[in-house]
Amino acid sequence: MSYDHLVKSLQKQLEDFQSDVKEEAIGEIIEVGDGIAKVSGLSDVKSSEMLEFENKVGEKVYGVVLNLEEFSIGAIILGEYTSLREGDKVKRTKRILEVPVGEAVVGRVVNPLGQPIDGKGEIKSNQFYPVEKIAPGVITRQSVFQPLETGIKVIDAIIPIGKGQRELIIGDRQTGKTALAIDAIINQAGKDVICIYIAIGQKESKVARIVAKLEESGAMEYTTVVSAGASQSAALSYIAPYAGCSMGEYFMDKGKDVLVVYDDLSKHAVAYRQISLLLKRPPGREAYPGDVFYVHSRLLERAAKMSEELGGGSLTALPIIETQAGDISAYIPTNVISITDGQIFLETDLFYKGIRPALSTGLSVSRVGSAAQKKAMKKVAGKLKLDLAQYRELEAFAQFGSDLDDATRQQLDRGARVTEILKQGQFNPISQGKQIAIIYAAANGHLDKVLVTSLAAFEQKLFSKMESEGKDILDNIEKTGELVEKDEQKLKNIINDLVELEVKVGEDKK
Amino acid sequence: MKKNDVKILASALYEASKDKKGKELDKVIGNFSAYLSQHHLVAMIPAILVELENIHFLKEGIVKAYITSSLELDKTEIKNIVDIVKRKIKQEVVAKTETDESIIGGAVVKYKDKIIDMSIRHQLNNLAKQLSN
């Protein structure tokens, strides 16, 4: 490169440089610490506006205004705050906090500001959505009517989830809450559903494990992971679910279906409590601030099934709440239970009994999902819930003695079998057709002769037989969602053949 | 709120000494000094004086403009700047000057929570930013 060329290119660059001198609004940090800053000046700043903090070295950090007071404003700092000092400059940006959205974020792991943390390079998106958005109103919605298949037998059969529904997953630590949500994400493969997994205050190792699992099963292709790690500031944990929700809303507005998992909202409430107390907002019950209900309700209201005129997109929310010692009547669990359209309650006792997913059928409900269930599933699963309820009642009796009458014994046997077939391994989602086949067999008493211990093996045999001989039944269910008379008869024959074989093998062994 | 806050003390002194002259004013000042020494608050006097000035300017509708320059400015230069600010905010303006060599040249004017940065340092920073893009 010649000297002349260098000078020319420099000249060219300098040509369009304008020394713009303009009036700027600035404030000063009065107090800073724990991710919170008190700022003087900036008298015309708006609530939840983005601020630009500049430290002595000239590095910039962003913040968000939360408190507007008489002589100062309170802001949360999104990022490294240890380099900020009292007296540092604060500038207005006149922008509300926003995150990049669009196809570019799909398949990526990002922080709550939409910056990549997976080392796969910059996210090139020219579209941004504000983090806080008002939920869709009444006339823009329609009621939930399509199923969101989780691939988990017990959920799809007993507490179905519809597209646009908010279904809470609640339970103690180590009961498989996250596993359930991850299974639901994995099952969306090929179903044209965009998934967003938001890890709030989770261990980085856990997030890494989940991302690896999603990549392994190919689910990362349609999934975005938003992670605010446990080591990052509470401010990031606080905005993470809103940021993730905005990324989902973009696709909902485009008419697509979205599944958002908030893992978990109890940690989100704790982060918000920390911020509120540091901002000197008065504490209420369990030291949570007065607006902790609104924090969750405005987030979960953003889940919706949009009307056909607006594209018919949907955003399904699966918030997760961790309870302490099974206490679902604590403050945050009751709040979120009352906001959502039902809950999936996971119990430690069931988990250690080997019933996994450890779903408590008595305490779990889905308030709108049954409208969304496939007709075929509704037909076969109708009896299931009753069978299980009666079984639970009788189970206690059965502990005492063997002299039970036939009807009771039969009910107990049926219940034990239904419970057994509803067990399911992790990362092993099952298609609706196959689910219907096995549930049909159990609910109609076809399995009563098969030993409980050999049911798992029987299930595998049934599934492989369905794939060969019963392919058309599976296809029909997938296409029409119904189990017609002809198919039902055929299914019954397949099951009976298998049962006979199973019984014979059992007798031979004896 | 704390009883012996700088702001509260300053505004108390301001209210008490307003429209007072001669002996009356001396009495107020005397009482105030006695209160401060009784409550071991003498160390707060510089802060109270600063606050007193702020209150005075606020009540009279006068705005302070801080002018930072690399070299000492002469009176006409200061007046020019003050006039510009006056026109902008339509209030009385009092100038406070200071020098700071690190801004290289030009001046930085600060008033209320606004800043007009006309310093060479700022311009160079902007230029550096544009060239690095």
Nearest CA to A379 out of A476, A486, A482, A472 is that of A482
Q: Which residues of A146-160 are buried (b: 16+ CB within 10 A; e: fewer)?
A: bbbbbbbbbbbbbbb
Own/partner pairs, B51-56, CB within 8 angstroms, 24+ separation: B51/B6, B51/B7, B51/B9, B51/B10, B51/B11, B52/B10, B52/B13, B52/B14, B54/B10, B55/B10, B55/B11, B55/B14, B56/B14
Question: Mutate which of B115, B119, B124, B130 to disrupt the A interface (most A C-beta within 10 Å)?
Answer: B115
Region A61-68: mean pLDDT is: 94
Are residues B69 and B50 located together in one domain of the fold?
Answer: no
pLDDT per position as a tens digit, A184-224? 999 999 999 999 999 999 999 999 999 999 999 999 999 99
User: How many CA atoms does the CB half-sphere of A432 hold within 13 Å?
Assistant: 26
Does the beta-carbon distance from A26 to B88 stay under 8 Å? no
Looking at the DSSP bridge assignments, the partners of residue A25 are B114
Does the beta-carbon distance from B126 to A19 stay under 8 Å? yes
Instruction: Give the minimum alpha-carbon distance from A88 to chain B in angstroms, rounded to a whole number.
Output: 14
* Domain C-terminal end among B59, B76, B92: B59
Interface pTM, i.e. ipTM:
0.71
At A468 the pLDDT is: 92
Closest chain A residue by Cα to residue B133: A13
Any B CB within 8 A of A25 CB: yes
Are residues B48 and B82 located together in one domain of the fold?
Answer: no
Residues 6+ away with beta carbon under 8 Å from A119: none
Percent of chain A with pLDDT over 70: 98
Are residues B128 and B71 located together in one domain of the fold?
Answer: yes
In this complex, the residue of A13, A14, A24 whose CB is nearest that of residue B114 is A24
Identify the band that residue B22 occupies on the pLDDT scale cut at 50, 70 and 90.
confident
Closest chain A residue by Cα to residue B107: A21
Identify the band that residue B61 occupies on the pLDDT scale cut at 50, 70 and 90.
confident
Instruction: Give the minimum alpha-carbon distance from A40 to chain B in angstroms, rounded to a whole number.
Output: 8
Are residues B120 and B87 located together in one domain of the fold?
Answer: yes
- The secondary element (H helix, E strand) that includes residue A196 is strand A193-202
Are residues B55 and B65 located together in one domain of the fold?
Answer: no
Angle, CA A439 vertex, CA A438 and CA A440 arms, to 5°: 90
Nearest CA to A225 out of A256, A254, A261, A257 is that of A261
The amino acid at residue A155 is: I
At A396 the pLDDT is: 77
At A53 the pLDDT is: 94
B117 neighbourhood in chain A, CB within 8 Å = 21, 24
Are residues B70 and B31 located together in one domain of the fold?
Answer: no
User: How many domains is chain B partitioned into structurally?
Assistant: 2
Average pLDDT, chain B: 86
pLDDT per position as a tens digit, A295-312? 999 999 999 999 999 999
Are residues B24 and B39 located together in one domain of the fold?
Answer: yes
At A440 the pLDDT is: 93
pLDDT per position as a tens digit, A222-235? 999 999 999 999 99
Does the beta-carbon distance from A23 to B130 stay under 8 Å? no
Are residues B73 and B103 located together in one domain of the fold?
Answer: yes
Q: Could you count the other beta carbons within 10 Å of the beta carbon of residue B91? A: 14
At B133 the pLDDT is: 65
* CA–CA dist A502, A414 (Å, integer): 17
Nearest CA to A112 out of A244, A262, A205 is that of A244
pLDDT per position as a tens digit, A400-438? 766 788 888 888 888 999 999 999 999 999 999 999 999
* CA–CA dist A230, A174 (Å, integer): 18
At B2 the pLDDT is: 64
SS3 of A109, please? strand
Are residues B65 and B101 located together in one domain of the fold?
Answer: yes
pLDDT per position as a tens digit, A45-63? 998 899 999 988 878 899 9
Are residues B77 and B53 located together in one domain of the fold?
Answer: no
Concatenating the DSSP letter of every residue in A330-341 gives SHHHHHHHHHSS
At B3 the pLDDT is: 65
Are residues B48 and B67 located together in one domain of the fold?
Answer: no
Residue of A367, A409, A414, A417 with catalytic role: A367
Does the beta-carbon distance from B113 to A24 stay under 8 Å? no
Are residues B65 and B113 located together in one domain of the fold?
Answer: yes
Q: Which domain holds residue B102?
A: 61-132
Q: How far from each other are the two terminal CA atoms of chain B, in whole angstroms?
A: 50
SS3 of A253, please? helix
Residue B84 has pLDDT above 80, yes or no: yes
Average pLDDT, chain A: 92
* CA–CA dist A441, B36 (Å, integer): 90
* Domain C-terminal end among B18, B39, B59: B59
At A291 the pLDDT is: 95
* Domain C-terminal end among B42, B59, B76: B59
Percent of chain B with pLDDT over 90: 4
- Look up A173 and say whether it is catalytic: no
Higher pLDDT, A463 or A370: A463
The amino acid at residue A427 is: F
